[in-house]
Amino acid sequence: MNRTRALAVLLAATLTACGLSDEPSTQTSTGTIKVGGVSSLSGAVTFPDSSAAAKAVFDRVNEQGGINGRKIEYISADDKGDPAAAAQAARDVVTNQGVVALVGSASLLDCAVNAPFYQQSNIVAIQGTGVDPTCFESPAISPVNTGPYLNTAINLYYASEVLKHEKVCLFLAILGNTNDAYGGAVSSWSSLTGKKLTLDDRTVKPDSDPTPFVLRAKREGCQAVLYNGTEPMAIAWMKVVKQQDVTGIDWLMTTAPYTEAVAKALGADGDGTYANAEFEPFTDANSAALKDWRELMTAKNVPLTSFGQGGYLAATYFVQTLKSIQGPITRESVTKAFKSLKPIQTPMTGTPYEFGEAAKHLSNRAGKIVQLRGGQWHVITPDWVRYPGTLG
């Protein structure tokens, strides 16, 4: 049992002893429909756009009269990037507030800490941004996004099979219990292609100086490098590439650096950098698939980001499912509806959203590759890149 999971078990016992039992309460079929979320809204790494986008969807539904006259009350709790706070937040929204479901959550550790509690409480979580491996390994949770591990496999596949590079290298910042999941992505890619990484370095820290890593990539003869850094990490990385005048390498990033802020900060220094968009690329202002999302986010002052797309889709799937329920809307009826959910297709994703009775969920299995040129992101693959292999 890893440290995070062990701490989660200890916290659950402590919270029960303090009166915050794991026995779930449920809503009645009248009054507001309470919906929860547990997200990292403060701390070292934050994901505020997902829950903000989900709230925007719910606010619009309320403005249009609600669900059969009932308004949606969205309760978004902050886990502060801390396991104890995550456990406390989940038990507050699920047990004390009695929400019918969790929607639009985005956190580094919510799933790892709270997945067993959600399953025990017979509640479903439609994750806006799944990060921790447990988000994709629980019968109670189904994220709308691709996630960093399949994202990694797609990037490696694109580097070796589309860009045709023989020397593919990987630099990873390992946060929490993500190492094995990243390893699974590498193993999947290797089994699929019959190739091995030229370099697999998982020692990068959020505050690391990128210089020695960039120079190592050059020294090892890497033709393509995949890096999973966050926004500031990716900016610092590509600045060093420019400063050290490292050429002849294709630099690939996971979804996190695919933002307008990164494009603006790097400008021409980021030319050629690739990233993998988990949804229809949000920077494509002409995409018909994004029309409603763009208009709603703009009207509600929510930043246009990939994380915002995740929150929007999670809430949209949830509302669509609520409208299909015949009879009272309670936790039990919502859970039943998602456990029997038929796949939902949307032009914002390459594969349909699914929940169902599966022991684990990874329904978003495609991405689109974008590239920085002149301080702007451009779509390189108009068609979805679907990873032909399997994870786990």
Q: Is the pLDDT of residue 252 over 80?
A: yes
Q: Find tokens 């507001």 and name the residue.
A: 32
In this prediction, residue 30 has a pLDDT band, given cuts at 50, 70 and 90, of: low
Average pLDDT over residues 107-135: 96
Average pLDDT over residues 203-219: 97
Over residues 43-96, the pLDDT tens digits come to 888 899 999 999 999 999 999 999 999 999 999 999 999 999 999 999 999 999
Whole-number pLDDT of residue 177: 87
Better-predicted residue by pLDDT, 80 or 175: 80
Helix or strand holding residue 251 (H, E): strand 250-253
Q: How far is CA 379 from the centre of its chain?
A: 20
**How large is the angle between the packed helices 306-324 and 331-339, nearest 10 degrees?**
100
Whole-number pLDDT of residue 8: 44
Whole-number pLDDT of residue 11: 43
Percent with pLDDT over 90 in the chain: 89
Q: Select 148-277+367-386's CATH number: 3.40.50.620, 2.60.15.10, 3.40.50.2300, 3.40.50.2020.
A: 3.40.50.2300
- 379, with CB counted inside 10 A (0-12, 13-18, 19+), is middle
Whole-number pLDDT of residue 176: 83
Q: Is the pLDDT of residue 15 over 90?
A: no
In this prediction, residue 19 has a pLDDT band, given cuts at 50, 70 and 90, of: very low
User: Which of 9-13, 281-285, 321-325, 365-369 is least confident?
Assistant: 9-13
Over residues 332-375, the pLDDT tens digits come to 999 999 999 999 999 999 999 999 999 999 999 999 999 999 99
How many CA atoms lie within 13 Å of 37's alpha carbon, on the beta-carbon side?
34
Q: Is the pLDDT of residue 16 over 60?
A: no
For the domain spanning 3-145+288-361, the CATH number is 3.40.50.2300
Cα maximum dimension of the chain: 66
Alpha helix ranges (H) inside 92-172: 110-120, 148-157
Give the start-to-end residue ranges of the domains of the chain: 3-145+288-361, 148-277+367-386
Joined together, the tokens standing for residue 347 give 């032009």
Closest Cα partner for 85 from 107, 65, 118?
A: 107
Whole-number pLDDT of residue 391: 87
The per-residue b/e assignment along 343-354, b for 16 or more CB within 10 angstroms, e otherwise, is ebebebbbbebb
Alpha helix ranges (H) inside 220-299: 231-243, 260-266, 291-299
Whole-number pLDDT of residue 331: 98
Whole-number pLDDT of residue 29: 54
In this prediction, residue 14 has a pLDDT band, given cuts at 50, 70 and 90, of: very low
In contact, 240 and 211? CB cutoff 8 Å: yes
- 374, with CB counted inside 10 A (0-12, 13-18, 19+), is exposed
Give the three-state DSSP class for 327.
coil
